[in-house]
Homo-oligomer: A and B are copies of this chain.
Amino acid sequence: MTIPLPSWRDAPTKQAIFDFVAAVTDESSPKYVPLAERVAVFDNDGTLWCEKPAYIQLFFAIARLKQMVEADATLLDKPAFKAAATDDMGYFAALYPDNMPALMQVVFDSHAGMPQPEFEQMAYEYLSHSLHPRFGVPYKQCVYQPMVELLDYLRNQGFKVFITSAGGMSFVRTVAEEIYRIPRENVIGSNVTFEVGWQGERLVLLRKPGLVDPPDDGPGKPVNIELHIGRRPIFAAGNANGDIPMLQYTDTNPQPSLCVLISHDDATREFDYTAGAEDALKMAQDRGWLVVSLKKDWRNVFAVQAR
């Protein structure tokens, strides 16, 4: 038998996860939760994969904007295209965290009109072959090994495991089965909607501009959990202020629940940042959520470093 969570240090954090799972899966425990109600939700950017120096999907969108400028130079009149063409990351950085909708629009509209299978192919290729600027490995390898082990562990204990990403649902789905063993239908996120069209004799879905309402961030996370799952989670993990409503929704479940907040405090092995997580960290303290320190709690950060 494999011991679960090998990449987690033997620390109170790991023990707290074991204790919670033991209690809710033990039929004789007062905290027992039936199988169907064992829903676990995970934010993606900064919780399952690396989100620095910028969201992976932003790099992907910038690559697309560059490609569009190459085909049509008049697009340089638009600020987002200009910034992409000149690698002006400051332009995009200035849009978040305070102007997430504008950033999302840039990211999501960059593939408007494209048939969905073509978008998926581009996304999959990008995640598989473009390299992280610091770690030098394909983006799809920039996943946190301890979290992948946590997904496996919960699934083995009968949990239904979902991703609830502020980033693109379609984007993450292209690799979710491969890197997280999470099937596509269990990935929730922000997304464009589609219109029905025909390619020859085949009905295809074409990506529309604009986002499905609500985007899957902040209060949109519990709403989309209800729309896509229909159950209040008993386990939630996040790392940013945008995860607070999802964590609160889980925290105030009448059933026993566990809320986990990932704290990025390890500049050596990953990044050290709390920008955009100040409120979440404070609330974690007030509410007794489990704060996971990259530095103290994880033996390895990425699978590639573990070799």
Which residues on A are within 8 Å of B, measured CB to CB?
Answer: 36, 116, 160, 169-170, 173, 177, 183-187, 191, 193-196, 201-203, 205, 212-214, 219, 222-223, 226-231, 245, 248-249, 251-252, 254
Asked whether A222 lies within 8 Å of B248 as measured between CB atoms, the reply is: no
Contacts of A191 in B (CB 8 A): 227
18 contacts between A and B (CB under 8 A): A36-B184, A160-B185, A169-B227, A185-B185, A185-B186, A185-B231, A191-B227, A193-B213, A195-B219, A196-B222, A196-B223, A201-B252, A202-B252, A205-B223, A205-B226, A212-B213, A212-B227, A213-B213
Give min CB distance, A270 to chain B, whole Å. 29
Asked whether B223 lies within 8 Å of A184 as measured between CB atoms, the reply is: no
Give min CB distance, A300 to chain B, whole Å. 28
Which chain B residue shows the least CB distance to A230? Answer: B184
Contacts of A203 in B (CB 8 A): 222, 245, 248-249, 251-252
Which chain B residue shows the least CB distance to A219? Answer: B196
Give min CB distance, A266 to chain B, whole Å. 31
Asked whether A183 lies within 8 Å of B248 as measured between CB atoms, the reply is: no
A36 in complex: contacting residue of B183, B222, B226, B230, CB < 8 Å = B183
A160-B185, A203-B245 are known; give 13 further A-B pairs, CB within 8 A. Answer: A36-B177, A36-B183, A160-B183, A169-B230, A184-B231, A185-B230, A193-B214, A194-B222, A195-B223, A196-B219, A196-B249, A203-B248, A205-B226
CA distance A226 to B120 in the complex (A): 12
Contacts of A249 in B (CB 8 A): 196, 203
Asked whether A170 lies within 8 Å of B230 as measured between CB atoms, the reply is: yes
Which chain B residue shows the least CB distance to A196? Answer: B219
Give min CB distance, A118 to chain B, whole Å. 14
CA distance A245 to B198 in the complex (A): 11
CA distance A177 to B230 in the complex (A): 12
Contacts of A212 in B (CB 8 A): 213, 227
